[in-house]
A and B are shown apart, each in its own frame.
Chain A
Amino acid sequence: MTAAPVPVIRIQAEDFDVAAEIARLTEGNADVGAVVTFTGLCRDEGGRLAALELEHYPGMAEAEICRIAAEAMRRWPLLGLTAIHRHGMIPPGDDIVLVVAASTHRQAAFEAASFLMDFLKSRAPFWKKEHRADGFEGSWVDAREADDQAALRWRRR
C-alpha cells in the first residue's frame, strides 16, 4: 500500500488536455480500475453569448479547491484526483473546468467527481461575466439556488 496520492489542483488561463490528465493518474498505477472525468464547457446560450469572462481570487481559488479535494480524499478511497479550472476570456465551446477521479472501483470515482464539482461551484471563488454577441454590456451570472442545494446533499447524516 502506497501513501495516499496528493490531489493535483491547477488554476490556469490555458486549456487542458483531458487524455493527458487521465494518463497522469493511470500510468504506472495498475490498481486503477475506474476513471471518471467531468468537463464543464462554455455555452453560447442560443447564440446570445460571445464569451464568458472568468474572474477568480488568486491564492484562495487554489486553496479552496485543495480543501474540497482533501475532503474528497478523506471520504472515498481514491487513487488520484485532479481539478483544473481556467480563468480569463472563454468562448463558447471551450473548456472551463476539468475534474478527474481515479479509484479501484467505479462508485468512489463517480461520487468523488460529483462531490468535487458540487462544492467547487458553491465555494471556489470564481465569477462568470457574460460578454454578449450583440456587443451590449453583459452582466454577471447569478448564482443558482440549485447549486447550493447540490452541495447540501453531501451532508453527512
Chain B
Amino acid sequence: MTKLVYFAWVRERIGKSEENVSLPAGIETLADLLSWLRGRGEEYESALLRPEVIRVAIDKEHVGHGDAIGGAREIALFPPMTGG
C-alpha cells in the first residue's frame, strides 16, 4: 500500500486529506500515477484537471512528474506553494 496525501485545493477537490491505495501494475512514474488517479472519479478529475500544475513530493522531498515512484511510502500532491 502507498499513502497518498493531498493539500490545499487538491485536498478540497478530492474531498479527503489522505488515503492508502494499492497501485496497479504499470504505474511507474508520478505522471502515470496522476493519470491513473484522474480515472478514479469526478472529484479526482476536478482536482487533477491540469496535471502540469500539480506539484509532487515523495517521502517529503520534491520530485518531478517523470520521476519513478520506486519504493515510495508517502506521495504528496499539492498546488504550487504560496507561503512566505
A112–B58 CA distance with the chains assembled, in angstroms: 27
Q: Mark A36-69, 1 if CB is under 8 A from B, else 0.
A: 0000100000000000001111011101100000
CB-based contact B83/A120 at 8 Å: yes
In this assembly, does A125 line the interface, its C-beta being within 8 Å of a C-beta of chain B?
Answer: yes
In this assembly, does B76 line the interface, its C-beta being within 8 Å of a C-beta of chain A?
Answer: yes
CB-based contact A54/B83 at 8 Å: yes
Chain A residue contacts of B57, Cβ below 8 A:
57, 60, 125
CB-based contact B84/A121 at 8 Å: yes
State whether A121 and B81 are in contact (beta carbons under 8 Å apart), knowing that A55-B7, A60-B76, A140-B9 are contacts in the complex: yes
- B62 nearest in chain A by CB position: A123
Chain B residue contacts of A123, Cβ below 8 A:
62, 81
A85–B84 CA distance with the chains assembled, in angstroms: 7
A140–B81 CA distance with the chains assembled, in angstroms: 10
CB-based contact B62/A57 at 8 Å: no
Chain B residue contacts of A54, Cβ below 8 A:
83
Q: Mark B3-35, 1 if CB is under 8 A from A, else 0.
A: 001011100000000000000000000000000
CB-based contact B7/A97 at 8 Å: no
CB-based contact B60/A126 at 8 Å: no
A8 to B: closest C-beta gap in Å: 17
Chain B residue contacts of A97, Cβ below 8 A:
83-84
Could you say which of B9, B76, B84 has the most chain A C-beta atoms within 10 Å of its C-beta? B84
Could you say which of A60, A124, A140 has the most chain B C-beta atoms within 10 Å of its C-beta? A60
Within 8 A of A (CB), among B30-84: 57, 60-62, 76, 78-84
Chain B residue contacts of A147, Cβ below 8 A:
84
A128–B6 CA distance with the chains assembled, in angstroms: 15
Q: Mark A59-98, 1 if CB is under 8 A from B, else 0.
A: 1110110000000000000000000010000000000110
A25 to B: closest C-beta gap in Å: 20
CB-based contact A127/B84 at 8 Å: no
List the 10 shortest-distance A-B pairs measured between CB atoms, nearest first. Answer: A126-B83, A143-B80, A127-B8, A60-B60, A121-B84, A141-B82, A128-B82, A140-B9, A124-B83, A120-B84
Using CB atoms and an 8 Å cutoff, list the residues of chain A in contact with chain B: 40, 54-57, 59-61, 63-64, 85, 96-97, 117, 120-129, 140-143, 147
Using CB atoms and an 8 Å cutoff, list the residues of chain B in contact with chain A: 5, 7-9, 57, 60-62, 76, 78-84
